[in-house]
Amino acid sequence: MKQEGRYLWKKVNSNITNTEVSNALLVKEESIENNEAPNKVQSSLFESPVSDDNAAISPLACHQELETPLKDSPLAVTPEDFDNYISSLDDILHLPIHGSPSIISGSCGEKEMTGARKKLVNLLRIGFPALFTSDRLTEVATLSLELQNEPNLSDRELSMLKLIQEIPLASKDFLEAKQVTKQGDKFFADLEAKVTRVSTLRDDYNASKKEIALLEVEDMSTSSAIQEIDDKIAILQSRRAALAKVSNRTNKKIAEAKSKQRMVMDHLPKMVDEIQVANSETSEWKLKKQKSAEKEVEILTKFAPLKGFSI
């Protein structure tokens, strides 16, 4: 039954909205607001008078009034009522109803049916998205089930009530679809964020390329200046090396000159002393030299006759 209910919900939901269902349930309320009181037995579900005093009647009022076991009840149950009961049995078994199970029939009082209809309309006014996520789904199904047993329902009214009864079955699919929608929104939001991030990264990349190009030009200029300085340094170093060689040679000459100077300084005083000593012996040596010259002449004179002599 649940599978058939979900199929019917998906098929009908595209054409029937909560506004259409609630409007159908409020047909009689509009007539009451226009002071059109009924003069005969109500012919359909939506022709019962509705009052605010009855709006708070429990959706299980009919069940509570029929707590007497079925075998002791004097009420007549039609085959159609029993068929509806059997078709809804799976849902009834999950409802929080206290007391013995009973078959809902047209025996519920007009007042209880009016209150159930009013409460169902108010619940439908909440709107399906909010209703699907609320804790009133069981109550909606119960009210719909109660109202289906009101006599003289039109085919459209009965189909509407059966459609309302499928709301709890459709809630799971709705919540799953809503979750998928939420996940889809997150997916597209993340995708858009990634696209935006990619655009930002692309702009950052292009900006970094321009910055790198400017820095490379600046680096080339700096490198050129450094190269010029290095070239000048190389020239100066070469000149320095040449001057260093000249300086080394000059220093060697200076060292040699200083060495000679020291030698002179060491020997000159001695020589002066020797000269002074020699000066003191000059007269004596002049006399010796004169005597030696005279003796030399005397000797040469003595042997002069022998010059050219031969035997």
Domain ranges, ordered by start, for the chain? 2-165, 179-281
Entry pTM: 0.36
Contacts of 173 (CB under 8 A, 6+ apart): 6, 9, 10
Hey, CA dihedral for 192, 198, 204, 209, is it positive or negative? negative
CA distance 246 to 75: 142
Whole-number pLDDT of residue 109: 64
Residue pair 27/46 in contact by the 8 Å Cβ criterion = yes
Q: In a 10 Å sphere around its CB, with 0-12 CB exposed, 13-18 middle and 19+ buried, how is residue 44 labelled?
A: middle
Whole-number pLDDT of residue 141: 75
Contacts of 96 (CB under 8 A, 6+ apart): 138
Whole-number pLDDT of residue 165: 74
Contacts of 211 (CB under 8 A, 6+ apart): none
Q: Which H or E run contains 120?
A: helix 110-125
* 26-79 tens-digit pLDDT: 443 443 334 333 333 333 344 333 333 333 333 333 333 333 333 333 334 566
Whole-number pLDDT of residue 90: 65
Residue pair 162/148 in contact by the 8 Å Cβ criterion = yes
CA atoms within 13 A on the CB side of 158: 11
Cα angle: 48, vertex 8, 116; to 5 degrees? 20
Q: At what angle do helices 2-13 and 167-280 cross, to 10 degrees?
A: 80
CA distance 20 to 49: 20
Query: Hey, what amino acid is at 145?
Result: L
Residue pair 79/120 in contact by the 8 Å Cβ criterion = no
Residue pair 58/64 in contact by the 8 Å Cβ criterion = yes
Whole-number pLDDT of residue 67: 35
Would you state the structure tokens that stand for residue 303, as one six-digit string? 């042997």
Phi-psi region of 35 (alpha: psi -120 to 50; beta: other; left: phi over 0): left
Residue pair 193/200 in contact by the 8 Å Cβ criterion = no
The list of the chain residues with pLDDT below 50 reads 1-76, 97-108
Whole-number pLDDT of residue 176: 85
Would you state the structure tokens that stand for residue 209, as one six-digit string? 């390329």
Hey, CA dihedral for 232, 236, 241, 245, is it positive or negative? positive
Hey, CA dihedral for 118, 122, 123, 127, is it positive or negative? positive
Residue pair 119/59 in contact by the 8 Å Cβ criterion = yes
Hey, CA dihedral for 249, 250, 254, 260, is it positive or negative? positive
Q: How far is CA 73 from CA 15, 66, 68, 105, 209, in A?
A: 42, 8, 6, 12, 92
Give, as one character, the DSSP assignment of residue 26. T
